[in-house]
Structure 1
Amino acid sequence: MADKDVTQVEMMKIIALFRKEGYKGEYEDFQRVSGTDREFFVVMSNEQGIKALFRASLMLNAVQFQYVLDDKHTFVQEDADAG
């Protein structure tokens, strides 16, 4: 089952949710959580270049910090056909 790309409208809703929760930074990547249509993984970086993974739920209007992306924690791209 191929996952649908995150739409621009969904991205805008996710960014609005992050701002409402007080998060600031650059949005690096958006990826749909497998098996859902209202939950997303978001990679965000701050001014120091530290990247973190968050789980955003448009259904629950909630943002959950997952972990900092470093040598032990990475974010795997699902679509290998980019380019």
Structure 2
Amino acid sequence: MGIDSIKIDKMFIDTIGTNDLKRGVLDAIIAFGMESGLEMIVEGVETAEQVEYLKKRGIFLLQGYYFARPMPVEQLKTVKSDEVP
């Protein structure tokens, strides 16, 4: 089918650290992605707990408010890599 990556929605990331039943879906998505050799991109990361949970599962392409709020391109160009958590 030509699929080489999947993007995991914030609604699943929000279940990390909770007893929400959708966390089982998140774990299944991660297992499927790993088993299939897919690149996984996660959106909506807001806490250090979420970052650690995902890193422990081998996911390193993360985006969200934990790293930075939306900003104009000109401001983004001035951000140094060591300023990002």
TM-score normalised per structure 2: 0.26
Greater per-residue strand proportion: 1
Structure with higher Rg: it is 2
TM-score normalised per structure 1: 0.26
